[in-house]
Amino acid sequence: MASILLLLVLLMPALEITGAQSVGVCYGRNGDNLPAEGEVVDLYKSNGIGRMRMYEPNEATFQALRGSNIELTVTILNNELSALNDAAAATAWVQKNVQPFSADVRFKYIAVGNEVHPGTAEAGFLLPAIQNIHSAIVAANLQGQIKVSTAIDTTLVTNPYPPSDGIYTEAANPFITPIINFLVSNGAPLLVNVYPYFSYNDDPNNIDLGYALFTSQGVVVPDGTRYPSLFDALLDAQYSALEKAGAPNIEIVVSESGWPSEGGNQATAQNAATFYQNLISHVTSNTGTPKRPGRAIETYLFALFDENLKGPEPVEKHFGVFSPNKQPKYQLTFG
């Protein structure tokens, strides 16, 4: 018995940082006053943050993550997608940025592109880049550990009210459907950036602030479903669109969600604290959404730090849950 207790004590640090019970936090680096990578990983550890999303490969971060047990999502920038239409380039990317670290860094997702829109220069490059990165992951025999996907925003879906009417726009449908089919065939989730803050600000006269902050009694939508929050409504509109695209069983990972503390309408520290506290409570509670009840929602807060080089809108600089000096802006428990 003593040996079992000793083993449990030894395992406790790892158990505290497993992603299963934790929200993730997005580690953006668009600032000139941010801590060193090792300090950032220590901040994740000391706060029990079990998942990280980063926006481009960074060797110093990979090195600091070794042995941490933090689950990692690595994003490939949109301006790299055209080069990755060359299979050899995709193989080289994986050989440089994944394989040297895969033994003791817990890579979970490769997000190929972030918020690529139909009709843009990157749109035609996205699916071949996803396919080539996936093939390179398979060639490295890492497909059991790492899923390859992309991160979209909620604007690809139209008619989101009621959420059951959500459907991909005419422009988005031919762009996203082949990507969805690829994800389904490989058991990968779709990553979606979900921002009640921006949806609220698009229509503040008709959307209650409390509904966006998880503090209202909810809304009964025209099809009779009661939605407790705008977050759930936005997410279920995405699920409805996936169903109509022939993918009713694909999972969504909320790859970004956040609320700014200044720089825009209702961007206050109090509102941000309320949003983050309630979002964490909701997505870790196994409540789910009306369309997908009874499950936790894998979610990544945006972002770790305020980033003083982001823009062009002032509000973009103020989404951090920590200040660049590593002091918490809000009292949050991450898992």
Two tokens at 53? 């999303």
Three-state secondary structure call for residue 99 = coil
**Burial call 29-52: b when 16+ CB within 10 Å, e when fewer:** bebeebbebeebbebbbebebbbb
Cα–Cα distance, 133 to 241 (Å, whole number): 26
Catalytic residue among 71, 80, 115, 122: 115
The reply to whether 307 belongs to the active site is: no
Residues 6+ apart with CB under 8 A from 12: none
Q: Are 269 and 329 contacting, i.e. CB atoms less than 8 angstroms apart?
A: yes
**What single letter denotes the amino acid at residue 17?**
I
φ and ψ of 276, to 5 deg: -65, -45
Cα–Cα distance, 325 to 174 (Å, whole number): 45
Q: Are 306 and 34 contacting, i.e. CB atoms less than 8 angstroms apart?
A: no
Cα–Cα distance, 236 to 232 (Å, whole number): 6
The reply to whether 115 belongs to the active site is: yes
Catalytic residue among 71, 80, 256, 307: 256
The residues annotated as belonging to the active site are: 115, 256
